[in-house]
Structure 1
Amino acid sequence: MAWTVDLSNLVLAVYGFTLITGLPANILALYTFFQKVRQRSTPMDVLLLSLTISDLIFLFFLPFRMVEAANMKWTMPYFLCPLSGFIFYSTIYNSTFHLTAISVERYLGVAFPIKYKLKRNPRNAMIASVIFWVVSMAHCSIVYIMQYHDHSNPNFTDPSKRNTCYEEFSVEQLKILLPVRMELFAVLFCAPFLICCFCYIRFIHILSNLPSINAKRRYRAIGMALGTLLVFIICFMPYNISHVVGYVDNYSPPWRVHALLTSTFNACLDPFIFYFSSSALRGTFKNVWQELTKRTFMPCCRSILYCPLLNCTRAEEKTQSTTDSSL
């Protein structure tokens, strides 16, 4: 991939938007779910907390990618290259696992409300979250393998002397990398997406046939389901399709960087999914919004109340009222 000014500006715009919108929303979500887990946790709270932590780690390492885009080459210490790439890709696939687990949790809660409620245990959600982290990080360790692979080759360039990060691959490296990418598509995207589709299609079907549920709650739950499926389609699908194209054509597609940009939106879209999933988060967002509105508009109201012109007008109205009453 060759950096251009237009590509650099595009990457900076997308990453900057994701950072500005995703960071405060995920911090609010972290505070909410941490308090919820401390008080009385449910499997859903544990999954949402783990996913929020994953998104925040992703956002923390995003500035490294922004620096690379701004300079149009890798200028930072090279050990940060595989580290930032490893975190970048691991958290993306970690999100697919967590979103799928949330869909399973929602489906089981609606399809088997009594039976599943008796067996719900936050500990199982904690174990599942740990497994998700381990599996996604184990698969994405390929980043480290590729960055330091083929040292014995005389044509191999020392990593510390490169000005690119996880972009240029030799034929020997592609023989290892392309099959791994295909496995990422099958195991870390395709399987979770199919499970998520099944769970939410059944979830929507069951809710649509339950007249006892409040219409507002039904629409909110359906919105969460459709929002999650859209995240898979918009954020994760383009990048994972590039794995298939690369495997079939036996090369690394140069448009992968554009497909990867959509994956970053996941970090700022997740809190909106959380909003539909958690009443506690809805309450936190509502309180913060009310406080911001109060602090924004109260000074304006006070300035209006103490405006000399308004005071004069009120004095005139008072005088006129007194005159009218005396008449």
Structure 2
Amino acid sequence: MIMPSSLIVVFYIIIFVTGLPANLVALWAFLKRVRQPHPAPIHILLLNLTLADLLLLLLLPFKIIEAASDFHWYLPEVVCATVGFGFYSSIYCTTWLLAAISIERYLGVAFPVQYKLSRRPVYGVVAALVAWITSFGHCTIVIIVQYFNSTQKATNIEVTCYRNFTQEQLEVVLPVRLELCLVLFFIPMVITIFCYWRFVWIMLTQPHVGAQRRRRAVGLAIVTLLNFLVCFGPYNISHLVGFYTKESPKWRVEAVVISALNASLDPLLFYFSSSTARRAFEKRLQVLQGPGSSLLGLRDRGSVEVTNRVGGLSQVEGAPSSDFTTD
């Protein structure tokens, strides 16, 4: 292990403290939005992305306890299996939800009229269900391996959680990790890169698109790309290295820590992606800033409304609305 366990604890705490409040605000905003008549598929997808982040964040205290114990596992084995199952499932659910969001964004700007006429909430529900079922179905390997030919109870070696594998366990887990990397990381990443490349190109080349929406489009693409490359990249590369070397890389612990960072990055994606989330975040910031921010908040809100009225084009003209055709 390259990083000291105490530093890992600090990183996990920072992710928890920054990610939990922001995702709770986003959850409140998206729940209100999807309860309205005819919610857009994007808000259903963003709501599910928030739920995946919250699942990871709620399991972080167990990872903090594990790191604080120098990765000795003193809790019951069933807790280890459950925490690992939920933690890794949330990561891979996020990758496919990000891919689904990128597809929705691309279709919304590439085919605005057709998309507005054909979009249905059920599409968002189906895409979210596929992401949850696919990720949780694949990550059952965490539970299977934890109980498959385990020698930790029968010997005096230190008890760890999903770390010290027997040779028989490695013969099962390494090929499955490779499949996880290919199906749940590389495929959604390729889809996401293509969709956002087209999405940003359209937003930057259309003369009727305002500067504010162009900035949001670029910001959305950058945050999503950072999620894949910075957060999920090292963790999934560890799967490739492990399959090649026939053992789990020693730096895999650090890669898992970095992967959890996506729960703190996703609120930025919510901000760039949805005016519903932006209004919710701005409202909470005004409350934190105190009474003196009231006038500033009114001024900012007014400027946003003016920009939206100037920047947005009518649906009849087939141009994107003030928030990428969805709000």
Same fold (TM over 0.5): yes
How large is the RMSD of aligned CA atoms in angstroms? 1.9
Paired amino acid for 1:244:
L
Aligned 8 A contact 1:30 1:52 in 2? yes
Tell me which residue corresponds to 2:153: 157
Question: Counterparts of 2:292 and 2:53 in 1: how far apart (Å)?
Answer: 29
Tell me which residue corresponds to 1:131: 130
Runs of 4+ in 1 over 3 A off after TM superposition: 155-159, 295-298
Paired residue for 1:20, among 17, 20, 36? 17
Could you say if the C-alpha distance between residues 199 and 297 of structure 1 is closer, same or farther in structure 2, counting changes exceeding 3 Å? Answer: closer
Gaps of 5+ in 2: 295-327
Could you say if the C-alpha distance between residues 297 and 103 of structure 1 is closer, same or farther in structure 2, counting changes exceeding 3 Å? Answer: closer
Aligned 8 A contact 2:152 2:159 in 1? no
SS at match of 1:146: helix
Q: Which moved more, 1:70-79 or 1:208-217?
A: 70-79
Tell me which residue corresponds to 1:222: 218
Determine which structure has the larger helix proportion and give its number.
Answer: 1
Paired amino acid for 1:56:
L
TM-score normalised per structure 1: 0.86
Give CA-to-partner distance per residue, 1:171-216, whole Å, 9 cap, x none.
Answer: 1111111110100110000000000010011111111110101111
Question: Counterparts of 2:7 and 2:139 in 1: how far apart (Å)?
Answer: 25
Tell me which residue corresponds to 1:100: 99
Q: Structure 1 residue 250: deviation in Å?
A: 1.1
Q: Please tell me whether residue 253 in structure 1 is matched to residue 249 in structure 2.
A: yes
Alignment of 1:1-327 (within 5 A): 7-40=4-37, 41-72=39-70, 73-150=72-149, 157=153, 163-295=159-291
Same amino acid, percent of matched pairs: 47
SS at match of 1:79: helix
SS at match of 2:207: coil
Gaps of 5+ in 1: 299-327
Larger Rg: 1
SS at match of 1:39: coil
Aligned 8 A contact 1:150 1:156 in 2? no
Question: Counterparts of 1:66 and 1:291 in 2: how far apart (Å)?
Answer: 30
Question: Counterparts of 1:233 and 1:124 in 2: how far apart (Å)?
Answer: 27
TM-score normalised per structure 2: 0.86
Paired amino acid for 1:219:
R
Question: Counterparts of 1:277 and 1:15 in 2: how far apart (Å)?
Answer: 26
Question: Counterparts of 1:145 and 1:296 in 2: how far apart (Å)?
Answer: 56
